[in-house]
């Protein structure tokens, strides 16, 4: 089976490099935070523990990706700024924005227990992320001023809002009272009605949090005479600063102007055109089939550390499948998914209007929901194995104009599954039989399908086609459409759509018969 017949589908992938010298910011923001905070009983208007958890996750992000040199966050959002010379993942926007959201949410789920030891995480959280490019340091300065301004305005409004509600007003009365109020009026309301001096509220709530690295002198050891040996180390610092876009704050920290540049002037009014560019979201072509393909980041290492069976770990694959089922249950517009190894492709129906077809939002929502489900369900599939570190996935979206090309895309992935699985089965059998990895590689070089099958059968008594179908075919996930006959009052029988069950299947999806048997999928 030659893969080249289908490989043309790769040419539909588009480049999305953030061109040098634009600065890269990744902005992440919890999806439907009002529901999440309500279900998890967060304090209003600010839950200090939830904010500390956000800060702790952001700190892990800085540790994981050394190119991120500054982060600012408040409420349910965080912005991560990459150093100007960064070449991280060739500056590909989708890859970077999905990885950051995925890693962030994986840490969020992992650390939940540490911050909320007595509260169960009820459902898998997800974050939307996007890449913002800043043409110059002045634009970055405006971005930071904008975010901190929103933090301030939002927090002041929410503080008034919840004080009024707690004092007995209904939600709509409160909205009416606060409508069109100015900053000064809200401060007065807080002071006069509730005795609250807004300025005295915790800086964490009013100003948000900044994270960056500073150089500090640390004692690393003592010499033979007992004298301390000191080294300059980069240490992470968390501060709540009044004006992060101000020159005095920025220029005070040498690491910031070295990695990003100086703030030359104080910022006045925030340029509306800049804000427009920060809010810009590019959209996927209408009426095309959208495939969001996610792939485990460094799963070679992840599978080694977690001692996955070679070449296939059935439990690991079942965990992947269970997350894919959850994704289909969460996103009604996803009609089909195909998974193999550490990757999954999700197909959105061509008419989908999910998130107004905003590409970053679609990718990040799927990747982060998949990742948090993976971490939450790990214990169900590996009850005796601890998750040693948070996994992450990257994602991309590709548009296919016709269902025929979409089917070629899926065929491309299934052929890949077949080629890799057959190769890996031979490779690991040879290694298990005593060959070194290089010997096994040399042995297999240039062999065709038939020769590999013969090797398995003659040397190891394995009939390739009798291996578990999940390994050979990969996994397909889709809804079984069930129609229920309902007799209406007038005696007519009409078809009523009931909640369709999401199933996992291991069919040959290259064979047109599969699609004929399930005509409702596409
Ligand atoms: P990036 O995706 O580029 O970050 O690298 P990666 O290390 O994730 O490699 P890639 O996605 O190309 O391939 C997936 C890798 O995951 C495989 O090469 C295996 O090392 C590992 N892997 C996936 N599934 C299994 C499994 O069931 N068992 C074992 N042992 N390893 C697996
Ligand atoms: Mg991978």
Q: How far apart are CA 253 and CA 246, in angstroms?
A: 12
Percent of the chain with pLDDT over 70: 96
At residue 382, does pLDDT exceed 90?
A: yes
At residue 499, does pLDDT exceed 80?
A: no
pLDDT value of position 151: 97
* Contact assessment for residue 104 and residue 57, using Cβ atoms and an 8 Å cutoff: yes
Q: Provide the 10 A C-beta neighbour count for residue 160.
A: 24
pLDDT value of position 112: 98
Could you tell me which residues come within 8 angstroms of residue 508 by beta carbon, excluding any fewer than 6 positions away?
414, 473, 514
pLDDT value of position 218: 82
Cα-flanking dihedrals φ and ψ of residue 22, to 5°? -60, 140
Q: Which of 92, 300, 302 is the best mutation target for the ligand 1 pocket, counting ligand atoms within 8 Å of the beta carbon and taking the most?
A: 300
pLDDT value of position 500: 86
Distance 297 CA to ligand 1 centre (A): 8
Task: Give the atom of ligand 1 at the shortest distance from the alpha carbon of 304.
Answer: 30
Q: How far apart are CA 70 and CA 25, in angstroms?
A: 9
Q: Provide the 10 A C-beta neighbour count for residue 152.
A: 18
Provide the 3-class DSSP secondary structure of residue 233.
Answer: strand
At residue 142, does pLDDT exceed 90?
A: yes
Q: Provide the 10 A C-beta neighbour count for residue 202.
A: 11
Ligand nearest to the CA of 420: 1
Distance 67 CA to ligand 1 centre (A): 24
- Confidence band, pLDDT 50/70/90 cuts, at residue 4: confident
pLDDT value of position 483: 55
- Across the range 159-186, mean pLDDT stands at 93
Find out whether the beta carbon of 215 lies less than 6 Å from any atom of ligand 1.
no
106-120, 125-139, 198-212, 218-232: range with lowest mean pLDDT: 218-232
- Across the range 322-336, mean pLDDT stands at 97
Q: How far apart are CA 504 and CA 11, in angstroms?
A: 29
At residue 157, does pLDDT exceed 70?
A: yes
Q: What is the DSSP letter of 271?
A: P
Q: Which of 309, 341, 416 is the best mutation target for the ligand 1 pocket, counting ligand atoms within 8 Å of the beta carbon and taking the most?
A: 341
Provide the 3-class DSSP secondary structure of residue 413.
Answer: helix
Find out whether the beta carbon of 303 lies less than 6 Å from any atom of ligand 1.
yes
Provide the 3-class DSSP secondary structure of residue 284.
Answer: coil
- Across the range 268-278, mean pLDDT stands at 94
* Contact assessment for residue 256 and residue 250, using Cβ atoms and an 8 Å cutoff: yes
pLDDT value of position 104: 98
- Across the range 280-299, mean pLDDT stands at 97
* Contact assessment for residue 99 and residue 127, using Cβ atoms and an 8 Å cutoff: no
Distance 313 CA to ligand 1 centre (A): 11
Q: Which of 64, 96, 299, 306 is the best mutation target for the ligand 1 pocket, counting ligand atoms within 8 Å of the beta carbon and taking the most?
A: 299
Angular region, 140: left φ>0, alpha ψ -120 to 50, beta rest: alpha
Tell me how far CA of residue 44 lies from CA of 55, 161, 486, 489, in angstroms.
18, 10, 46, 49
Find out whether the beta carbon of 341 lies less than 6 Å from any atom of ligand 1.
yes
- Confidence band, pLDDT 50/70/90 cuts, at residue 457: very high
What is the rounded average pLDDT for all residues in the chain? Answer: 94
Tokens (6 digits) for 122: 């009820």
Distance 395 CA to ligand 1 centre (A): 15
At residue 347, does pLDDT exceed 60?
A: yes
pLDDT value of position 484: 60
At residue 494, does pLDDT exceed 80?
A: no
Distance 298 CA to ligand 1 centre (A): 7
* DSSP H or E stretch at residue 446: none
DSSP tally for the chain: helices H, then strands E? 19, 14
* Contact assessment for residue 392 and residue 102, using Cβ atoms and an 8 Å cutoff: yes
Find out whether the beta carbon of 320 lies less than 6 Å from any atom of ligand 1.
no
- Confidence band, pLDDT 50/70/90 cuts, at residue 454: very high
230 or 409: which leads in pLDDT: 409
- Confidence band, pLDDT 50/70/90 cuts, at residue 145: very high
pLDDT tens digits for range 196-206: 999 999 999 99
* Contact assessment for residue 424 and residue 311, using Cβ atoms and an 8 Å cutoff: yes
pLDDT value of position 120: 97
Find out whether the beta carbon of 339 lies less than 6 Å from any atom of ligand 1.
no
- Confidence band, pLDDT 50/70/90 cuts, at residue 447: very high
Distance from first CA to last CA of the chain, Å, rounded?
25
Find out whether the beta carbon of 344 lies less than 6 Å from any atom of ligand 1.
no
At residue 495, does pLDDT exceed 80?
A: no
Provide the 3-class DSSP secondary structure of residue 331.
Answer: coil
Q: How far apart are CA 461 and CA 464, in angstroms?
A: 9
At residue 12, does pLDDT exceed 90?
A: yes
pLDDT value of position 513: 97
């Amino acid at each position: 089976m030659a893969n080249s017949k289908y490989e043309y589908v790769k040419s539909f992938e588009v480049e999305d490099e953030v061109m040098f010298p634009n600065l890269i910011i990744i902005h992440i923001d919890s999806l439907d935070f009002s529901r999440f905070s309500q279900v998890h009983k967060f304090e209003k208007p600010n839950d200090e523990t939830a904010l500390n958890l956000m800060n702790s996750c952001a700190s892990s992000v800085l540790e994981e990706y050394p190119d991120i040199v500054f982060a600012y966050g408040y409420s349910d959002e965080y912005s991560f700024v990459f150093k100007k010379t960064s070449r991280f993942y060739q500056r590909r926007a989708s890859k970077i924005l999905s990885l950051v959201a995925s890693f962030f949410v994986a840490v969020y789920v992992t650390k939940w227990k540490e911050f909320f030891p007595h509260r169960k995480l009820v459902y898998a959280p997800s974050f939307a992320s996007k890449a913002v490019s800043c043409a110059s340091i002045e634009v970055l300065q405006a971005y930071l001023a904008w975010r901190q301004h929103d933090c301030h305005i939002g927090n002041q409004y929410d503080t008034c809002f919840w004080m009024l509600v707690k004092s007995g007003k209904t939600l709509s009365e409160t909205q009416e009272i606060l409508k069109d109020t100015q900053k000064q009026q809200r401060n007065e309301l807080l002071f006069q009605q509730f005795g609250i001096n807004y300025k005295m509220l915790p800086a964490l709530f009013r100003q948000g949090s900044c994270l960056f690295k500073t150089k500090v002198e640390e004692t690393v050891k003592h010499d033979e005479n007992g004298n301390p040996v000191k080294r300059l180390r980069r240490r992470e610092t968390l501060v709540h600063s009044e004006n992060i876009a101000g020159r005095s704050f920025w220029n005070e920290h040498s690491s910031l102007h070295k990695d990003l540049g100086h703030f030359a002037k104080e910022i006045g009014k925030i340029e509306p055109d800049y804000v427009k560019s920060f809010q810009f979201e590019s959209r996927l072509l209408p009426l095309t089939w959208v495939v969001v393909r996610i792939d485990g980041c460094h799963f070679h290492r992840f599978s080694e550390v977690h001692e996955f069976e070679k070449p296939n770990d059935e439990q690991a694959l079942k965990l992947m499948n269970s997350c894919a089922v959850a994704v289909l249950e969460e996103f009604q517009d996803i009609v089909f998914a195909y998974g193999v190894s550490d990757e999954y492709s999700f197909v959105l129906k061509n008419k989908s209007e999910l998130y107004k077809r905003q590409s970053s939002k679609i990718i990040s929502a799927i990747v982060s929901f998949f990742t948090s489900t993976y971490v939450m369900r790990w214990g169900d599939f590996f009850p005796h194995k601890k998750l040693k570190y948070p996994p992450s996935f990257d994602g991309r979206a590709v548009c296919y104009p016709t269902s025929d090309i979409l089917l070629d895309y899926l065929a491309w992935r299934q052929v890949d599954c077949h080629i890799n699985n057959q190769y890996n089965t031979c490779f690991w059998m040879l290694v298990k039989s005593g060959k070194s990895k290089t010997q096994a590689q040399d042995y297999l070089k240039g062999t065709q399908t038939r020769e590999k099958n013969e090797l398995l059968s003659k040397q190891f008594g394995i009939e390739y086609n009798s291996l578990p179908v999940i390994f050979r075919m990969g996994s397909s996930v889709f809804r079984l459409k069930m129609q229920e006959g309902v007799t209406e009052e007038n005696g007519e029988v009409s078809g009523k759509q009931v909640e369709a069950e999401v199933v996992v299947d291991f069919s040959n999806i290259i064979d047109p018969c599969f699609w004929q048997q399930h005509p409702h999928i596409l």
